[in-house]
Every structure is written in structure tokens, then in C-alpha cells.
């Protein structure tokens, strides 16, 4: 029998491969696989937006430098981010968790305390889940549920040539924070008496260990009566997410390097690591910022929001998906996501 | 710092402990933790019923005797069973999965083919999920979503003294099927050339490896205009589920051993294993039958349904939760669930 290795397909290739034989049978399934979240509508009125994420110990988090409370907080936040990326409001979560008996009740208390703080901060209710044992390690699987009028849900596939490509906040900080923690982990493993030195790096490390979802941006859209034409959250890096929007919208895009927002701290620390800051922003991932497109006529609505950057433009598919460097050269955007296998 | 081991609390104690500090903040959260599924209602009309389950390799399934296609089928079915147990109709599922690179794409294809067959059989749509890697083993986390009018949702807490305690199908077969497979596994491990002999045991093994959810019973309730007063699905064994209904309804119960449905095959094979058939039925688990209570005045509605047994009665809490044996003696019911740690 033929054996195809998982890494031959990549994450998105694998998902497409596994789900292509499933067809939707229910009219209540407004949107299935392929966006940040699924959309379900029973009857009329508001639709239910639902998304699920799995976090595996030593694949998605390393308990050597991840405080358990932060882990719980982040597990909730990354799930809520998927709901916001649909322009919806998260209201509930379900938490499933498997763990070996190496964990004590007190350790789980820390994780749940982090989850509780996130639930409180985002006004979300824990309504269900499953708790079970594993032979080794911990796996967290969260499902977030939210609501929105069907006409206000923003998908990945609505971008049109001429739309402006926008991003919230700044990019690459979580990746540089990860490099900092990995370096200190190596120092610690070599000499457990060494204490890590993170002076002035709190911001970068915080972006990795305790990210926030951009609830405020979704609230801003509502206040400004602005409906993006497409949206996605940035979990795998800007480059990968631009490709998702373009592939699903059947468009091209130009991203201008000079407009990609990178904080000064990220910039200088990336250079310390001999890394190009723009590479951190394009491929680093885990920023949980929102990438979205708006009709050019809506540009005035975001003009005074300093937390939103216009980083480029949607162009026809035939013109490609490209990065324009500060030097004025063009490079094709490529995805570098999921390299777990 | 104090260290409390996970097994000191037990599964339900642990869930209570971890979730007790969470309070519901949203009026859309009609039902949170503590039933087969959560109930959410955005606006008016139908409510959304949602449940999640996690299956861990070598804790919940053993790939030595679990065909991958069956695993996929069962993973969906056990989730749907939770939705039916709310008297709701499942419509969608989300599937998250972590697996090591020991699995090939072809192995995952088998699992997803089983899931697809279950989706087709139960008219459910796969609408989302997450696929990721693990360092070792496989974990499946499924979320099922369904719909029902809020007034027709059946919770665990509605049983009243005088209600009849009913169960669908028969109990204990999956547990005896597991004993059969475990015995053959030992034979196989001792001598890999031995082929298992399962003549005439297909029913018992099928009940374990390819269970079905009782969609037909929910449809029968609708046709018969019968609304149970409480309901739960039997995943941990009849005894544990009766305790859940009684604890949440603040009642007692009498279960009459002579009316607990056990198939002849289960009965005889249990005796072959020197096991008491009633113990298999009370504590075996994984039957995925429905345990429910009905008002005594509705007894006529189930009279001609041969697939529903009246096994006892709800009594006041002060009278206890008891099993009446065939010999007429009374025993307190005890839970034996979750012994994974």
C-alpha cells in the first residue's frame, strides 16, 4: 500500500485533501471548512460563528518558558481571534484538555485561572468541554462560538482589485520574543543556575506569551460603519495570510515593505539576532493581528485610526501576489507556515 | 506548594473544581457546563446545542484492534449522541486532530472516510477543525452542533418523583466486546501468528467498535409527541448516568435489575468471562443508548416501542438511589467511571 508522508502535503494541502470528499447537506451550514470559522444559521436572525483550535505540548507551547496561567489565557485568545476575524462577537467557549498524571490539580488550576481571566476580559462564557487523561503531555482543544448578522460576517473571499490591504497593530514581535525565549532556554539548559535576563524585552515576550485578540478593531468597525471586504487573523505570518485572502478571493496583491508595521523594539532585536525584521513580520506568525481589505472609498474611515496601517493593494490575479521592497524590487510572496513535521 | 493528584478528584470532581470559578456573563448562554451539551441562543427562535469530546490514543482507543475507519465513524457518533441526548438534532461537526508522523496520509484518509460515512448516515456537515502534529500518538477532538426549540430541549435536571426511568436498546454489549478484543490482543501479543476467532461475536464487537447514536429514538419522541422530563446518553455505564440524573434533578431512583435490558449474547458471553451480566450493564459504558425519564401519564406512548424498556422509577431524594436485585435485595448505586489515571 502506498505511503504518503504528512509533510508532503503541508497543513493546508492536508486539510483540503482530507475534507474534499465531504459535501454540505444542511442549508443551515452557511460556511464550512476554509475560513477562520464556520458559519451556521438555524432559522432566521443572527448566525452562529464557530471555530476550533488545538494546542499540543512541545509543538505549540514549551512549558519550560510558558507560565501555565499564560498558556490558559493564550489558548482562549487565539480562539477568540478567529471569531473576531469573521467580524463576529465571541460569546462562548468550550475547553477540552488531555493531560498525563505528571500534572497536579494545582497546575490545572493555573491554566484555568488564565482561561478565566481571558473569559472575563473578553466577556466570554465557558459552557462546556471534556477533561481526560493522556499517557504523555498535554493537549488543549478549544472551540469558540460567536454571533453576528449574516450580512455583516466578513469572509476571506471578498477582496476585489482596487481594495486597500490593511493590518492592525504591528507584526513580528511574537517571533522575536520566541527567539529571545529559545536563546534563554539554551542558556538555562546548559547552566540551570543562570537566570534569564529580559530587561526591556517584556513587550516582545508578552506578545508571544500573552497575546490579545483585536476586539477593539471589530468594535471600531461597528462604530465607523465600516465593513471590510475580506478579513483573516495573522497566526502564520503576514505572507501566508495574504496568500489565503488572494487565493480565496481569486485576486493578486501588492504588499509594500515600507508600510508593513514593525515596532522599533522588534526591529532592533531582530537585527541583534541577525534576522531581517521584514522576514519576522512576513513569516513570524503568532501576531494575532487582523489583516483585512476595504473598499478604497472607505479609506477616510480608517485615516485617524493610528492602529491600522494600509500596507498595500489588491490587484488582479494575473498580476501576481508580490512584495515590493524598500529598494523598489518585487518578490513573489511565498508561504512558510506549519513546519511541524 | 501543595500537590493534589488528578485521581483524587475523579473526572466529574475535577470538572466541577476547575469550572466553579467561571460564571456566565451572557444571556445567550442558556446552559453551561454540566449537561450532555451546552445550549446557546442568539436572538429568538431555535437554540444551538453544542458538545465536545476528546479521544486519546491508548486511553480511549487501541489501534491494535480498532480499524481506523471505525475510529473515525465512532468519534463522530459519540459526539452526536450527546446532541441527541438533549433531544436536539445534530447538523454540524468540527474535527480537530493531532498526530505524529508515524501516521501516513493514507491512514488519515481511512479515519476521515469513517467520519464521512457517519456524516452521511446522520446527515451532518463537517464545517471546520484543526489539523496539527504531535510528538507521539493521536488525539481527536470533535465538536458537534445541533438545533432545537428551547422548549423542547431536555436537560438532566428535570426528573420528578413518580417519573418512569427508561432506557433504549440494551446495555453491556460494548463492554463484553471490549473484553473479547482485549483477550484476543493478549493472545496476539503472545503469538502474532494466531488469528483472532470472533465467530458469532460480531454483534458484541460491533457495539464497541462501531456504535450508533439513537437518532431513531429522538425521531420517535417527535412522532409520539413525547417530551422526556430528563435525558442523558449512556457513555460511562447505566449506574453513573442514573446518578447524574438524580443528582441534577435532586431526586432518588429505583432501578430494577430484572428490567435492565441485556441481550442474550451479552448475557452468555459475560458469564463465559466469569462476569456478572448486570455489572456489565451497570458499569460497562460505551453503550451510547439513551437513559431518560417520562411522566407516568406518558407510559402509553412508549408501550408499543419494543426498543424502550422501563427499568425503574424516580423517587424522592431521601429514599436514595438504589438497585433492586432479582432476589429483591436493595443496593446503593455507585459510580465507576473514569479510571484512566
The answer to whether B12 touches B337, Cβ cutoff 8 Å, is: yes
Nearest CA in chain A to B32: A127
Q: What is the mean pLDDT of residues A60-73?
A: 93
pLDDT at B138: 95
Beta bridge partners of A29: A40
Per-residue model confidence as pLDDT tens digits over A118-127? 999 999 999 9
A296 pLDDT exceeds 50? yes
Average pLDDT, chain A: 93
Which has the closest alpha carbon to A25: B124, B257, B32, B70? B124
A339 pLDDT exceeds 50? no
The answer to whether residue B20 neighbours chain A at the CB level (below 8 Å) is no
The answer to whether residue B10 neighbours chain A at the CB level (below 8 Å) is no
Q: Which residues of B touch A108 (CB under 8 A)?
A: 6, 14, 18
pLDDT at B184: 87
B339 pLDDT exceeds 70? no
Domains of chain A with CATH codes: 6-152 (3.30.1330.10), 164-332 (3.90.650.10)
**More confident of the two residues A200 and B165:** B165
pLDDT at A190: 87
Per-residue model confidence as pLDDT tens digits over A87-97? 999 999 999 99
CA distance B68 to B103: 11
Which has the closest alpha carbon to A28: A15, A14, A44? A44
Q: What is the mean pLDDT of residues B210-222?
A: 97
pLDDT at A336: 62
Per-residue model confidence as pLDDT tens digits over B108-154? 999 999 999 999 999 999 999 999 999 999 999 999 999 999 999 99
Q: Which of B22, B59, B91 sits opposite A116 (nearest CB)?
A: B22
Per-residue model confidence as pLDDT tens digits over A155-171? 999 999 999 999 999 99
Instruction: Give percent above pLDDT 90 in chain B.
Output: 85
pLDDT band at B336 (very low <50, low <70, confident <90, very high): low
Work out the minimum CA distance from B22 to partner chain A, whole angstroms: 6
C-alpha cell belonging to residue A232:
483573516
Q: Which residues of A touch B29 (CB under 8 A)?
A: 91-92, 125, 127
Q: What are phi and psi of A247, to 5 degrees?
A: -65, -40
CA distance B146 to B95: 15
Q: What is the mean pLDDT of residues B76-94?
A: 98
B7 pLDDT exceeds 90? no
**More confident of the two residues B10 and B303:** B303
A172 pLDDT exceeds 90? yes
Cβ distance of B50 and A128 shorter than 8 Å: yes
Sheet hosting strand A164-168, strand order edge to edge: A230-233, A290-294, A164-168, A308-316, A251-256, A321-324, A330-332
The 10 Å CB-count burial string (b at 16+, else e) for A112-137 is bbbbbbbbeebebbbbbbbbbbbebb
Work out the minimum CA distance from A297 to partner chain B, whole angstroms: 33
Nearest CA in chain B to A50: B128
CA distance B47 to A23: 24
**Which pTM value belongs to this model?**
0.94
The answer for A169, left when phi > 0, alpha when psi is -120 to 50, beta otherwise, is left
Per-residue model confidence as pLDDT tens digits over A19-28? 999 999 999 9
Q: What is the mean pLDDT of residues A210-237?
A: 97
pLDDT at B44: 87
Number of H helices, E strands in chain B: 10, 13
pLDDT at B338: 40
A340 pLDDT exceeds 70? no
Q: What is the mean pLDDT of residues B191-203?
A: 79
Which has the closest alpha carbon to A137: A88, A101, A106? A101
Average pLDDT, chain B: 93
Instruction: Choose the mutation target among A39, A43, A127, A236 for the interface with B, i.e. most B CBs under 10 Å.
Output: A127
**More confident of the two residues B16 and A141:** A141
Q: What is the mean pLDDT of residues B251-279?
A: 96
Cβ distance of A32 and B127 shorter than 8 Å: yes
Give me the residues of A, 131-150, that contact B with CB < 8 A. Answer: 131-137, 139, 141, 143, 145, 147
B155 pLDDT exceeds 60? yes
CA distance B341 to B324: 31
Amino acid at each position: 500500500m502506498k505511503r504518503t508522508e504528512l509533510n508532503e502535503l503541508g497543513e493546508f494541502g492536508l486539510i483540503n485533501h482530507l475534507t474534499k470528499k465531504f459535501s454540505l447537506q444542511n442549508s443551515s451550514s452557511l460556511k464550512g471548512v476554509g475560513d477562520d470559522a464556520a458559519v451556521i444559521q438555524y432559522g432566521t436572525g443572527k448566525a452562529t460563528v464557530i471555530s476550533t483550535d488545538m494546542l499540543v505540548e512541545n509543538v505549540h507551547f514549551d512549558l519550560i518558558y510558558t507560565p501555565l496561567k499564560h498558556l490558559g489565557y493564550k489558548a482562549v485568545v487565539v480562539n477568540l481571534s478567529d471569531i473576531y476575524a469573521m467580524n463576529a462577537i465571541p460569546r462562548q467557549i468550550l475547553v477540552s484538555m488531555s493531560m498525563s498524571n505528571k500534572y497536579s490539580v494545582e497546575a490545572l488550576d493555573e491554566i484555568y485561572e488564565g482561561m478565566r481571566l481571558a473569559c472575563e476580559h473578553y466577556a466570554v462564557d465557558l459552557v462546556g468541554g471534556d477533561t481526560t487523561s493522556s499517557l504523555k503531555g498535554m493537549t488543549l482543544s478549544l472551540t469558540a462560538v460567536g454571533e453576528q448578522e449574516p450580512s455583516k460576517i466578513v469572509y476571506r473571499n471578498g477582496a476585489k482589485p482596487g481594495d486597500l490591504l490593511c493590518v492592525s497593530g504591528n507584526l513580528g514581535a511574537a517571533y522575536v520574543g520566541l527567539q529571545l525565549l529559545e536563546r534563554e532556554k539554551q542558556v538555562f539548559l546548559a547552566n540551570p543556575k543562570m537566570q534569564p535576563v529580559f530587561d526591556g524585552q517584556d513587550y516582545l515576550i508578552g506578545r508571544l506569551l500573552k497575546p490579545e485578540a483585536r476586539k477593539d478593531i471589530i468594535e471600531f468597525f461597528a462604530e465607523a460603519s465600516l465593513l471590510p471586504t475580506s478579513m483573516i487573523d495573522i497566526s502564520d505570518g503576514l505572507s501566508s495570510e495574504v496568500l489565503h485572502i488572494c487565493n480565496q478571493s481569486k485576486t493578486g496583491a501588492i504588499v509594500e515593505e515600507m508600510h508593513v508595521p514593525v515596532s522599533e523594539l522588534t526591529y532592533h532585536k531582530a537585527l541583534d539576532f541577525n534576522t531581517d525584521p521584514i522576514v519576522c513580520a512576513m513569516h513570524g506568525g503568532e501576531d494575532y493581528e487582523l489583516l483585512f481589505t476595504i473598499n478604497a472609498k472607505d479609506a477616510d474611515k480608517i485615516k485617524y485610526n493610528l492602529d491600522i496601517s494600509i500596507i498595500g493593494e489588491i490587484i488582479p490575479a494575473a498580476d501576481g501576489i508580490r512584495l515590493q521592497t524598500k529598494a523598489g524590487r518585487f518578490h513573489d510572496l511565498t508561504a512558510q507556515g506549519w513546519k511541524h513535521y
